[in-house]
Chains A and B, each alone.
Chain A
């Protein structure tokens, strides 16, 4: 069964404390992996697309990496404004649709 699992469910960091979010997946025929950021009451905001193992993308304090089984979203020296829910979604599988993980809620305290 096609599945996307994100961990941890929630993560609390102090400002400046770097960490990583995990997205593991089991889908047949991965065609793309996407990271989104979602603030309360808003729609998901697109961050990165990764297409193949070994690929990396960076944007400000965020860096996304991809292996054949999982993706990591590394957050370096986070700030309170990085607080949000981070969603991982995988395109592939038997239906060819986007499969979302349940998200990681990140809180960064000053």
Chain B
């Protein structure tokens, strides 16, 4: 079992839907991340939150909107997605942001998103 919990595990949505992915960690980590992973590819960084503030946005389209309500929670709001956005969305956390300390990332098991 992973210490980073993601819900839901699977999500199917239409291109006009609005949905949210949720992530929770209780390890006291102060950096949280969203990654996107396509089949047979490595994870690609989308967003980084450091001490609950957005610190990195890797030029992600505005149809993806991250939110960090507190130090344990991370959300990813989805709106007007395209079929090519179908992928495994991974949440991760680390003790401190990478710029301060290269501590390892701990990943959740992801949300498998299918856009129809």
Question: What is A's interface to B at a CB cutoff of 8 Å?
Answer: 31-32, 34, 36, 41-46, 49, 51, 87, 91-92, 96-98, 100-103
Contacts and interface: CB of A to CB of B under 8 A. Distances in A.
Interface string B89-115: 010100000110011111111101000
B27 interface: no
A44 B107 CA distance: 6
B102 A103 contact: no
B98 A91 contact: yes
A65 to B, nearest CB: 17
A96 B110 CA distance: 24
Interface of B: 2, 4, 6, 41-43, 45, 56, 88, 90, 92, 98-99, 102-110, 112
B102 A46 contact: no
A43 B104 contact: no
Contact of B105 (A31, A46, A51): A46
B2 A43 contact: yes
B90 A43 contact: yes
Contact of A31 (B6, B42, B45, B102): B102
A101 B43 CA distance: 9
